[in-house]
Amino acid sequence: MNNAVNAVGDVSGVYFQWRFYLSVFVAIIMVLSSVYLIFFKKDNKTVHVTGVVDDQYCVSGRSGTNCNIRVIYKFQNKEYKTNVTSSSISLKGDNIELYIDPSQPDNPTVTTPGTIKMMGYGLSVMAILMVGVSYLIYRATKADKGFANFMLLSSFLSR
C-alpha cells in the first residue's frame, strides 16, 4: 500500500510540474509578445513629434504622481492642442516627446521615461516568483505525499 501511495505521489508531482512549467512558458511568451506589440510594433506606425507643455495639473497619491497635461504640437504644418496623461511632472514651457499616428494626429501618446525600467523590474520579480513557487511546489510534492495526492485529485476535478 505504501508503494502505491508513493507511486501516485510521484506521478501527480511530475504531472503537476509539467503543467505548471507549460503554463509558465505560455505566460512568458504572452508577456514577450505584448512587449513587442506595445513598444516595437508601435514605432513602425507612429511619428515622433515634440510638443510644448501649455498647462498642467498634477495629483500625488499613494501610487505616485499623475499629471494631466495640455500639450501644443505641430504635425504637417497644422497646430494641435490636446490633453494627455503622464506620470512625469512637466512644467509649463517644457518640451515633451509624443507619438503621433499619422491617420489620427489629434490623439497622441506620451512616451513615459520609466516604462521600460518598470517593466524590467516587473519581469524580474515575476521570474523570481515563478522560480520560487515552482521550487516550493516541488519540495511540497516530494516531502508530503498527501499534498501530491491532493494536487492530483484537484487536477482531475478541475476538468
All structural domains of the chain with their residue ranges: 2-40+117-157, 46-112
pLDDT of residue 4: 46
- Residue 28 one-letter amino acid: I
Q: What is the pLDDT of residue 159?
A: 64
HSE value, Cβ hemisphere, 13 Å, CA-based, for 41:
7
Residue 81 makes CB contacts below 8 A (sequence gap 6+) with: 54, 70, 71, 72
Q: For the chain, how long is the longest CA-to-CA vector?
A: 83
Positions of the chain with pLDDT under 70: 1-14, 38-44, 87-90, 111-117, 140-151, 153, 156-159
Distance of alpha carbon 110 from alpha carbon 82, whole angstroms: 11
Strands (E), the chain: 47-61, 64-75, 78-86, 95-101, 104-110
At 37 the pLDDT is 73
For residues 43 and 32, the answer to whether their CB atoms sit within 8 Å is no
Give me the pLDDT at residue 79, please.
92
How far is 90 from 64, CA to CA, in rounded Å? 15
